[in-house]
A and B are shown apart, each in its own frame.
Chain A
Amino acid sequence: MKGLTVGKAVTALMLAGLVLLPLYSQLTGNVFILTLFPRIIILALAAASLNLIMGFGGMMSFGHAAYLGIGGYAVGMLAQEGVGSGFVQFPIALAASAAYALVIGALSLRTRGVYFIMITLAFAQMAYYVASGLARYGGDDGLTIYKRSDFAGLIDLGNRTQFYYLCLACLLGVVFLIWRIVNSRFGLVVQGLRSNEQRMQAIGFPAKRYQLVCFVISGTMCGLAGALLANNTDFVSPAVMYWTRSGDLMVMVILGGMGTLFGPIIGAVVFLLLEEFLSQITEYWALIMGPLLLLIVLFGRGGIMGLLGRAGRG
């Protein structure tokens, strides 16, 4: 399977496109594309983090949007309290996401299968309700962030191009990290647990501990996406944690190809562009998107990456 496959070619093309996007925007004067794409890249990061536990670890978390909210609220709440430095905001956002993932993971990993799906879902809803109850930080209406994270002049998050490249760098960094994790001894154990937990335990690996660490890493990565997302929209509200958001993330992973390194990113780009495109044709775009999802699940095994792989062989 070495050499140039269709999947690799498409991935390389997409990455080149993402790197050159600001240049394209400047040449054509299309500013809109630089407001649309940071969001796509940030959600691709979130999808990639979900893929780490779902695709490689076999843990179907249906509450991943909670970390988007926690990372976002960490930035928003600190900004509200007058702490504007990104060097404080981002580490706290990551730490808060990690802490939440540790608690939720420790509880949820006591169960498996469909219980796990529902429990992660319910805990994320809990986070949603807690955020809705935070009267000091906007409650239901959400929290406006008046000043983006301040990185002491190193990066200006208010500058579109710089912010875009920051997001892209974070995405590529996370993908690199996932690649390293997946190919490490730790990653192999986690993937072994996905295939056969009993056997791995019999060999002597403490299954839950490995899975929990993986769960926490994934949650922390998604918290980074949350902190970036809050800076992108200058706003954070409980809605980013709503369970349909978690569903969207899951769909991106599956659409692109679960358990592949770049699949979730392709999935996020396609899903969000499709959403953008369909909503320009009709305001009832979900009427098309819904059945489309159903068809993808029924007939599109392996997502876009799987499709590209088959196209390459055929």
Chain B
Amino acid sequence: MLLVVEQFLNGLQFGLLLFLLAAGLTLVFGIMDLVNLAHGSLYMMGAYFAATFAAWTGSFLAGALMALGATLVLGIALEVTALRHLYGRDHLDHVLATFGLILFFNEAVRLIWGPAGLALPLPAWLTVPVPILPGIHYPAYRLAIIIVALLVALLLYLGVMRTRIGMLIRAGASNREMIGALGINIKLLYTLVFGLGAALAGLAGLMQAPILTVQIGMGENILILAFVIIVIGGIGSIRGAFLAAIFVGMIDTLGRAFLPNLLRQVLSGAAASTAAPALSSMLIYLLMAIVLVVRPEGLFPANRR
């Protein structure tokens, strides 16, 4: 029982983290029609910035806040110098150009921080277990991730659906010429949206940093998961990304935790221990395949065009 609740929460936490990453990716795609493979690099940069700034200031929170600002600035700089020129081009061009950026970022990190990973230690007040149900404790830090990610999701929803900027963003997503003709500075709007997406990726990276080591290429594996999520959820749909992220986080975590035992019930021990790791890492791709067979446009396709 204890294990089930704990794994359930782990799945939720992982899913919410994936949502932050997928939200930025799908926001940029949905509004600017830009496929950004380097989104995972921004996630990695968030983690590196946080580890560096936290070591400088000696404070986890200050480091995290500075890292958030730094990825926002980095994202804006990236949009202005490189990605701005790719709008309206073929998706294949986006894929290649941002693939080049991944090479660049990985190598730049190796040059600046060296090939060894970094660690981002947690402050004492975040390492204590918190009682969540009678007799059940859960690590405070993972709980904090859940709360922060839920807050961000709520703010994002309210920001996009209820504010003037959000209204412009949605308008820009459906018709960029029209919104430009209305006298809105669409260039600036795009830069801000990209910065926001970058900051979301950075937030995911810096929050994940204390759980895993901060290392080169850390963004690439998780980027694929983010792709799976936005494909399942429907590209360009924040709501789809949210639900799919939680779903994928749960399935991945619970699969890894319980599949080996489940398989042992039906297969011999040796066969089960061979098949389980491969099968549990395949689960989400199987899920994606099933979703695609049923709904090629994803579960909640954004109604563009």
Q: Do residues A107 and B35 form an inter-chain contact, with CB atoms below 8 A?
A: no
Q: For A297, list chain B residues within 8 Å (CB).
A: 86, 93, 96-97, 100
A62 close to B (CB within 8 Å): yes
A123 close to B (CB within 8 Å): yes
Q: For B279, list chain A residues within 8 Å (CB).
A: 133
Whole-angstrom CA separation of A294 from B36 in the bound complex: 13
A140 to chain B, nearest CB (A): 10
Whole-angstrom CA separation of A292 from B29 in the bound complex: 24
Which residues 122-171 in A have Cβ within 8 Å of B in the complex?
Answer: 122-123, 125-126, 129-130, 132-136
Q: Do residues A136 and B274 form an inter-chain contact, with CB atoms below 8 A?
A: yes
Name the one of B103, B220, B230 contacting A293, with C-beta atoms under 8 angstroms: B103
For A111, give the chain B residue with the smallest CB separation: B296
Known: A62-B95, A287-B104. A129 touches B292 (CB 8 A): no
Residue in B35, B224, B228, B279 whose Cβ sees the most chain A Cβ within 10 Å = B224
Name the one of B224, B235, B289 contacting A107, with C-beta atoms under 8 angstroms: B289
Q: How many A-B residue pairs have CB under 8 A?
A: 132
A251 close to B (CB within 8 Å): yes
Q: For B296, list chain A residues within 8 Å (CB).
A: 110-111, 115
Q: Which of B106-114, B128-136, B145-153, B186-194 touches A? A: B106-114
B157 close to A (CB within 8 Å): no
For B35, give the chain A residue with the smallest CB separation: A114
B277 close to A (CB within 8 Å): yes
Q: Do residues A126 and B285 form an inter-chain contact, with CB atoms below 8 A?
A: yes
Name the one of A118, A126, A291, A296 contacting B227, with C-beta atoms under 8 angstroms: A118
Known: A129-B278, A286-B107, A290-B104. A243 touches B95 (CB 8 A): no
Q: Do residues B277 and A133 form an inter-chain contact, with CB atoms below 8 A?
A: yes
Q: For B124, list chain A residues within 8 Å (CB).
A: none
Known: A115-B235, A243-B224. A134 touches B289 (CB 8 A): no
Q: For A114, list chain B residues within 8 Å (CB).
A: 29, 35, 91, 235
For B110, give the chain A residue with the smallest CB separation: A284
Interface of chain A, helix or strand or loop or mixed?
A: helix
Q: For B304, list chain A residues within 8 Å (CB).
A: none
B231 to chain A, nearest CB (A): 5
Interface of chain B, helix or strand or loop or mixed?
A: helix
B170 to chain A, nearest CB (A): 20
A244 close to B (CB within 8 Å): yes
Q: Do residues B107 and A117 form an inter-chain contact, with CB atoms below 8 A?
A: no
Known: A290-B102, A294-B101. A122 touches B91 (CB 8 A): no
B281 close to A (CB within 8 Å): yes
For B104, give the chain A residue with the smallest CB separation: A290
A119 close to B (CB within 8 Å): yes
Known: A117-B91, A122-B228, A130-B278. A251 touches B96 (CB 8 A): yes
Residue in B37, B100, B235, B277 whose Cβ sees the most chain A Cβ within 10 Å = B100
Which residues 229-253 in B have Cβ within 8 Å of A in the complex?
Answer: 230-231, 235
For B274, give the chain A residue with the smallest CB separation: A135
Known: A115-B231, A121-B224. A294 touches B97 (CB 8 A): yes
Q: Do residues B100 and A107 form an inter-chain contact, with CB atoms below 8 A?
A: no
A289 to chain B, nearest CB (A): 6
Known: A115-B231, A118-B231, A122-B224. A292 touches B100 (CB 8 A): yes
Whole-angstrom CA separation of A62 from B274 in the bound complex: 28
For A242, give the chain B residue with the smallest CB separation: B220
A214 close to B (CB within 8 Å): no
Q: For B37, list chain A residues within 8 Å (CB).
A: 247
B31 to chain A, nearest CB (A): 14
Whole-angstrom CA separation of A145 from B106 in the bound complex: 31
A230 close to B (CB within 8 Å): no
A1 close to B (CB within 8 Å): no
Q: For A294, list chain B residues within 8 Å (CB).
A: 82, 97, 100-101, 104
Chain A contacts to B: CB under 8 angstroms: 60, 62, 107-108, 110-111, 113-115, 117-119, 121-123, 125-126, 129-130, 132-136, 243-244, 247, 250-251, 254, 284-287, 289-294, 296-298
Listed by A's residue number, 12 A-B pairs whose Cβ atoms lie within 8 Å are A107-B293, A110-B292, A115-B298, A117-B91, A121-B227, A122-B227, A126-B282, A130-B278, A130-B282, A247-B102, A290-B104, A291-B100
Q: Which 10 A-B residue pairings sit nearest by Cβ, starting from the closest? A: A133-B278, A293-B100, A290-B104, A290-B103, A286-B107, A126-B285, A129-B281, A287-B107, A286-B103, A297-B97
Known: A132-B281, A247-B99. 17 other contacts (CB 8 A): A60-B91, A107-B289, A117-B35, A117-B91, A117-B92, A119-B231, A121-B227, A126-B281, A130-B281, A133-B278, A243-B224, A287-B103, A287-B107, A291-B100, A293-B100, A293-B103, A294-B104
